[in-house]
Amino acid sequence: MRMDELMDDLSKQSSFLLAIDGMSGSGKTTLAQSLQEKWHAHVFHMDDFFLPLEMRTPQRLQQPGGNVHYERFLETVLKPLSLQQSVFYQPFDCQTMSFQTVQEIPYSPFNIIEGSYALHPSLQRYYTHGIVLKISPLTQKERLFKRNPEKIDQFIHRWIPMENQYFDAFDIFEKYPVLER
């Protein structure tokens, strides 16, 4: 899929709930911000739903996509949006390993979910559109190093393998249109 095709399709909609999934460093947040400006959409970040420490059991982390609290995301974001209701949620801050202040987001007909794991099978039925961003492994490492050089080893040895496990287990790149960036 090309970007102009996505924009054309979204412009024909009176409402949408778009999931932007993809590889770390592929431009998901940047794309979401661009679309947010164009449609005055709300953006919800999967990073706000990483698993709290007390839920990070070996069994949970072995599940593809298990490092995201997708159950909480479903209950606090997707279900209210599907009922055209405001969203109340507490972002989880991975740096402090704590929940932040409750956010109230009034209902909008235009909503974007961005982040790795956004297209987890338990969430897919709520979306009107889903796309996946893909970049080469070399570009990915270069971007991640530029963004956060002190955590590049953690990305290479932990987070990227977990993402790849998720992409492979659920055929994410086969089931959804891919934007190569």
Q: Is the pLDDT at 1 greater than 80, yes or no?
A: no
pLDDT digit string (tens) for 158-181? 999 999 999 999 999 999 999 887
- What domains are there in the chain, each with its CATH number? 19-180 (3.40.50.300)
pLDDT at 3: 78
**pTM of structure:** 0.95
pLDDT digit string (tens) for 73-85? 999 999 999 999 9
pLDDT tier at 94, thresholds 50, 70, 90: confident
pLDDT tier at 150, thresholds 50, 70, 90: very high
pLDDT digit string (tens) for 42-65? 999 999 999 999 999 999 999 999
Strands 103-105 and 110-114: unpaired
Token pair listed for 69: 């609290």
Q: How many helices (H) and strands (E) does the chain have?
A: 9, 9
Q: What is the edge-to-edge ordering of all strands in the sheet holding 178-180? A: 42-45, 110-114, 16-22, 129-134, 178-180
Euclidean distance between CA atoms 138 and 142, whole angstroms: 6
pLDDT at 125: 97
Q: Is the pLDDT at 92 greater than 90, yes or no?
A: yes
Q: Share the mean pLDDT of the chain.
A: 95
Chain mean position to CA 15: 19
Chain mean position to CA 105: 17
Token pair listed for 80: 């209210």
